[in-house]
Structure 1
Amino acid sequence: MTLDPAGDTSDSGERIGAALARVLDRSARDLMARGDDDVEHTLDVIVRGAIRTVPHAEQAGISLVERRGGVQSTAPSSQVVRDLDELQSSLREGPCLDAIWNERRTVVHDMAAAHDRWPRWAVAARERGVGSLIAFQLFATAGSAGALNLYAARPHVFDDDTADTGALFAAQAALVLQGAQRAAGLLVALENRDVIGQAKGILMERFGVGQSAAFAMLVESSQHTNMKLVDVASWLATEAEHRGSKRVPAR
């Protein structure tokens, strides 16, 4: 599969700004119509918006680094983008990885001249019809990192103006991911609080102690067993549930 020819190069800054405003407005209406918090869909909207708005961008996708170091292809606009993301993960080289770890922005003006930097990945990209690329580092929080990647068939098409416009979409993608991470963290915190509260209740009933004493027992058990407090609480809740299931119902 190859990329389509690049579009008109005469867009002024005003026209780009107007197009960007229209895309963001259309994206917002799309998300409101869905009425949910589907992160994958939101990122897909951002990727499609970048292709429609950033001059010369013909394909796009978001690369996210997983905990084990692999690269997950998120919201790719085509199978080519997915393949190239997965290839970077297996080869451990490529411009998206450099944007994630080393640079805020990686620009490949001519893929034919990128062999020295990424000898295996650059060849694969050219074989798939990629002539130039620009990758933007997404704002990384603890334990996460990513990049928004824009592809074009022709070399030397990404300049400062296109880079500035693409950076706006990268900022939107970063906000979506950060919001999703915070929501996930909040959910985990609530779940942890619930299981700790359940464990405190078990200790209060079993030993006839108050809330403070029950919590102190959990903390002490955590220190002596070298386990996280929530893991101790989870074990205790599971053990109590197991005990309850073994009780013979009263006649």
Structure 2
Amino acid sequence: MGDQQPVSTGERAGVELARALEEAARGLVERGADEDVEHTLQLIVRGAIHTIPHVEQAGVSLVERGGIVTARAPSNDVVRELDELQTQLGEGPCLDSIWYEQRTVIEDITQVRARWPRWAVEAERRGIGSLMAFQLFTDKGSAGALNLYASETGVFDEATTDTGSLFATQAALVLHGARRVHGMAGALASRDVIGQAKGILIERMGVGPERAFAILVESSQQTNIKLVDVATWLVGEAQKPGRRGGHGR
């Protein structure tokens, strides 16, 4: 047998990274659809702090509908404030990573006062010395950014940055899976409530399934209310005590 090679810091980080993401994937399967995205975000943040060297605090910024960036799963109030400030001020590392760069690494926060004049001052005031932000990329484009913070300056070297980049790549895959599960669960729930509403109309109005669905669509268009919301309202009304088809006498 040959001599065993010592395990490098990067390899150890890779093992810890794999374990953290395995936990996130396992949690995604085990938890309900209503909790999966938020729970996954929390696991990603916790895993980043535990596996990426020198990272003390972390958070995720997600691109929501309309291109609005929201702060999610911050590890503490300082991270929440800094991540929210970036959206409010329109400047900061997570926005640059989301829209322009795959990674943003700042070794000394005092050196970026000209780049982000308002946000950098707030970050300094809250004790941030250095930071990294990595784009969470999916097949549909940028989904957000993973934001990593340290109180000391100059702690994020090339090896640490590579580990952070690897973590962000794998985290984006896990997050994409969580969002798909959540979306599928929502679609199934919508289909179920629309089916219930159709059944109510078939019973009350003596129409067929196709006509019942057409009535729901027409109501949605006339009121400018989403089809699933119209169906939800109708089912709720039918279930009120005293209503035919409800639970009353």
- Unpaired runs of 5+ residues, structure 2, are 1-5
Q: Distance in 1 between matches of 2:182 and 2:25?
A: 20
1:99-118 per-position Cα deviation (integer Å, ceiling 9, x unaligned): 22332222223211201111
Give the equivalent residue in structure 1 for 2:9: 15
Residue 93 (structure 1) aligned with residue 95 (structure 2)? no
The structural deviation recorded for 1:236 is 3.0
The structural deviation recorded for 1:119 is 0.8
User: Does structure 2 conserve the Cα–Cα contact (< 8 Å) formed by 1:204 and 1:210?
Assistant: yes
Quickly say closer, same or farther: Cα 1:114–1:218, change in 2 above 3 A.
same
**What is the Cα-based RMSD across aligned positions, in Å?**
3.6
Range with greater deviation from structure 2 (218-227 or 25-34): 25-34
The structural deviation recorded for 1:122 is 0.8
Residue 173 (structure 1) aligned with residue 203 (structure 2)? no
Quickly say closer, same or farther: Cα 1:80–1:220, change in 2 above 3 A.
closer
Quickly say closer, same or farther: Cα 1:235–1:153, change in 2 above 3 A.
closer
Q: Distance in 1 between matches of 2:63 and 2:120?
A: 20
Quickly say closer, same or farther: Cα 1:91–1:25, change in 2 above 3 A.
same
User: Does structure 2 conserve the Cα–Cα contact (< 8 Å) formed by 1:46 and 1:172?
Assistant: no
Residue 183 (structure 1) aligned with residue 181 (structure 2)? yes
Quickly say closer, same or farther: Cα 1:144–1:239, change in 2 above 3 A.
farther
1:100-149 per-position Cα deviation (integer Å, ceiling 9, x unaligned): 23322222232112011111211222233322211011136879942111
Quickly say closer, same or farther: Cα 1:42–1:210, change in 2 above 3 A.
closer
- The TM-score normalised by the length of structure 2 is 0.75
- Unpaired runs of 5+ residues, structure 1, are 1-11
1:164-199 per-position Cα deviation (integer Å, ceiling 9, x unaligned): 211222123323322232222222212211221112
User: Does structure 2 conserve the Cα–Cα contact (< 8 Å) formed by 1:67 and 1:143?
Assistant: no
Q: Distance in 1 between matches of 2:96 and 2:71?
A: 15
Give the equivalent residue in structure 2 for 1:8: none
Aligned pair count? 237
- The TM-score normalised by the length of structure 1 is 0.75
Residue 71 (structure 1) aligned with residue 65 (structure 2)? no
Q: Distance in 2 between matches of 1:168 and 1:213?
A: 53
The structural deviation recorded for 1:18 is 2.8
Q: Distance in 1 between matches of 2:61 and 2:24?
A: 23
Quickly say closer, same or farther: Cα 1:48–1:235, change in 2 above 3 A.
closer
Task: Give the 3-state SS of the residue equivalent to 1:55 in structure 2.
Answer: coil
Identity of matched residues, %? 57
Give the equivalent residue in structure 2 for 1:4: none
User: Does structure 1 conserve the Cα–Cα contact (< 8 Å) formed by 2:20 and 2:43?
Assistant: no
Give the equivalent residue in structure 2 for 1:25: 19
Q: Distance in 2 between matches of 1:142 and 1:162?
A: 27
